[in-house]
Structure 1
Amino acid sequence: MSGGSDTKELKALQAALAAEHAAVYGYGVVGGRIGEKRRAEARTAYDAHRARRDALTRRVRDLGGTPVPAAAGYALPFPVPDSGAAVRFATELEERVAGVYSDLVRATVGEQRRSAAGALREAAVRAVRWSGESVAFPGLAERAATASPSPAPTA
């Protein structure tokens, strides 16, 4: 890869890593509010995002970058006082992650693109499972609807 491609890929990897940090944090909130019937689903999603976060951290380092750190806390897009709100929040987390992975798909080639496409697919499937609804092009509609790829960090 040329230097420009590496820079583009690194920037997209850092954005995906930031989104995964936010998703891990967000699933901590979801897990604390979700009803018992969906708690295992939340735990599985949490574990998947941790694994993706760790893989992205390694990839950023492999490219010579310093992985973006997790924020100490994240502002939630809306209050999450109960199980219904937790389901809506989990859906939003997955939609935002899918959007960031769509950017990573565009910025990579070969095995890295396949991996990013797999992460996009997984996030889109989880969003559908949480919401019960699907979109034609996961990761793209969400990019138009949200300006930021993850909940905003708090100070």
Structure 2
Amino acid sequence: MSSGAAPDPTQAVQAALAAEHAAVYGYGVVGGRVGDDRGSEAREAYDAHRARRDALERTVRDLGATPVAAAAAYALPFPVPDAAAAVRLAAELEDRVAGVYSDLVRAAGGALRREAAGALREAAVRAVRWRGRSVAFPGLAELTTSAVSRTQ
């Protein structure tokens, strides 16, 4: 925020809600392509994102706003023809969710900030499980991207 103005918590919550909508959609794709060995992991992540989505909808209403609606479909970042691509998609979904929760941590205070930090941590842990390795700064895309590219 170069203007020095504090980020708007309502906008940050709405962005997190939009990311959770996209994650729920994305995990529908992951679940349909991932191998049987990781199917329960995909279902658990799907359920976790649905729960976070529902909680964020309540939070948006509590803040006096109308929750952003889910889109009918979402563009995937790459084709997902097989289990390996599904695993990559799951890690990407978690990275994206971690990014918006990082923004929410910066924008919020109190209980909302603690909840956002918990969601960021959960997304980072799921990303590590899917990817098989960690990144230096989960939720901070500009740092994560450079750290990942150096390790590949």
TM-score for both structures, normalised by structure 2: 0.89
User: Between the two proteins, what is the percent identity of the paired residues?
Assistant: 76
In 2, Cα distance between equivalents of 1:61 and 1:142: 31
By relative contact order (CA 8 Å, sep 6+), the higher-ranking structure is 1
Query: Which amino acid in structure 2 is aligned with residue 17 of structure 1?
Result: L
Other-structure match for 1:44: 44
Other-structure match for 1:60: 60
Structure 1 pair 39–26 and aligned structure 2 pair: CA distance change class (3 A): same
RMSD: 1.6
Other-structure match for 1:14: 14
Shift of 1:135: 1.1
Structure 1 pair 140–129 and aligned structure 2 pair: CA distance change class (3 A): same
In 1, Cα distance between equivalents of 2:33 and 2:142: 24
Other-structure match for 1:149: none
In 2, Cα distance between equivalents of 1:134 and 1:141: 13
Shift of 1:108: 0.5
Other-structure match for 1:108: 108
Q: How many residue pairs align between the two structures?
A: 141
Residue segments in structure 2 that go unaligned for 5+ positions in a row: 146-152
What do the CA deviations read for 1:26-79 (whole angstroms, capped 9, x no partner)?
A: 000000000000000000000000000000000000011000000000011110
In 2, Cα distance between equivalents of 1:137 and 1:46: 24
